[in-house]
Amino acid sequence: MQKNIINSILLVSFLILGLHGFSQHQENLTKPEDQEAEKDLKNEIKNDIKHHVKDAYSFVFFSNSKTGESYGFSLPVILIDNGLHVFLSSKFNNGNKLVHIGDTYYKLSHSKIYKTDAKGTITLNAHGHPTNDKPIDLSITKNVLSIALVSLILFLIFSGLAKSYAKNGLIPKGIGRFFEPIVLYIRDEIAIPNIGEKHYKKYMNYLLTIFFFIWFSNLIGITPFGINITGNIAVTFALALLTFIITQFSGNKNYWKHIFWMPGVPVPMKIILAPIELLGVLIKPFALMIRLFANISAGHIVIYSLLGLIFIFKSYLGSSLSFGLALVISVLELLVAILQAYIFTMLSALYFGFATEEHAEAH
């Protein structure tokens, strides 16, 4: 068996080296104008990936890169700047036009709205970031609409599950039969072991909400509509902030004592450990935020990068390998979707357990 594994590794290695050598040979034979076209294609793919992982003011189902036309639907832009301004994002024409309201011009640049002049000037600082003033933006973006959609789906599913419990003597029917084991698993394997029998019930609503919200958000992120809810750091920050606030307000005297004046430890060590423990209080929600954001964003970028390689290879072998890898990663993303929801819920329950744990007084 080891021999077969070694042979397989060698075969794959020779195949990769052969493809690399062939591509290098082709690159050397490529004309300068062809190299320039390939460079433009790579930049276009890179920009498309960046556009996909970012939030947007419209849903774009597909677009024509040659004509610049896109097909989808616009979302309402809501700005507060010397009054309330509401209009559809189609007025920006994908950033190619300015919106003139009163004496002010607004421009859409890199998925953000800036105040500008009649020429649409965007001033950049030394780091390449725009310095133009921005209005207060309360627009219904793609992520905002998707969050509302996920919330509506969860409300319909679990309100139906609750009604089926009431009508059928605590026996779910229909789609509730699929979700009931998951609810029981979160209660029996996450909430009770980490929080305890005494306190777990008051946290169940929150734990169930974040688990199913993150799971459903991750699932619709796999669809080809360019939805990337949990790949938006503002969303993961809000979720982590909720866990942080609930944890701190749930903390009993033992929790705070173990942070600021750890019992059973010499006084000099208490002085040293107190700032470290306090720093740990802030690091925990930060880790929650970054873990979810990084894993989901990385999955989207990898899949779209592999799909982009299809247009770069321009060969049956290379394109087929890229498509096959993208398909495998997409299937793995189904597992990552629920795994990340599980990890976030598990760690939140663990933090709640730390805050409510009752310790025996040290003698």
Sole residue written with tokens 């072998």: 317
Q: What is the Rg, in whole angstroms, of the alpha carbon atoms belonging to the chain?
A: 26
Position 15 confidence tier, pLDDT thresholds 50, 70, 90 = very low
Do 188 and 167 meet the contact criterion of CB atoms below 8 Å apart? no
Do 214 and 343 meet the contact criterion of CB atoms below 8 Å apart? no
pLDDT at 7: 43
Within 10 A of 337 (CB to CB), how many other CB atoms are there? Answer: 23
Displacement of CA 202 from its chain's centroid (Å): 27
Do 93 and 83 meet the contact criterion of CB atoms below 8 Å apart? no
| Per-residue tokens: 291 | 């873990």
How far is the C-alpha of 38 from the C-alpha of 43, rounded, in Å?
Answer: 9
**Mean per-residue pLDDT for 268-281?**
80
Q: What pTM did the predictor assign?
A: 0.79
pLDDT at 347: 94
**20-57: per-residue pLDDT in tens?**
443 344 444 445 555 555 567 677 777 767 767 778 88
How far is the C-alpha of 172 from the C-alpha of 88, rounded, in Å?
Answer: 43
Which of 134, 139, 130 shows the shortest CA–CA distance to 81? 134
Residues 6+ apart with CB under 8 A from 77: 57, 85, 86, 87, 88, 89, 91, 92, 113, 137, 139
Q: Which residues pair with 106 in a beta bridge?
A: 99, 115
Residues 6+ apart with CB under 8 A from 98: 92, 105, 106, 107, 116, 118, 120
Work out the widest C-alpha separation in the chain, in whole angstroms. Answer: 82
Domain ranges of the chain: 64-140, 143-356
**306-354: per-residue pLDDT in tens?**
777 777 777 777 777 877 887 888 888 889 999 999 999 999 999 998 8
Q: Is residue 158 pLDDT above 80, yes or no? A: yes
The three-state secondary structure class of 79 is strand
Torsion angle defined by CA atoms of residues 333, 339, 344 and 348, in that order, rounded to the nearest 10 degrees? 170
In the chain, how many H helices and how many E strands? 10, 8
Half-sphere exposure of 157 (CA within 13 A, CB side): 18
- Sign of torsion, CA 171 175 178 184? negative
Do 206 and 246 meet the contact criterion of CB atoms below 8 Å apart? yes
Tell me the residue length of the chain.
363
Residues 6+ apart with CB under 8 A from 287: 347
In a 10 Å sphere around its CB, with 0-12 CB exposed, 13-18 middle and 19+ buried, how is residue 182 labelled? middle
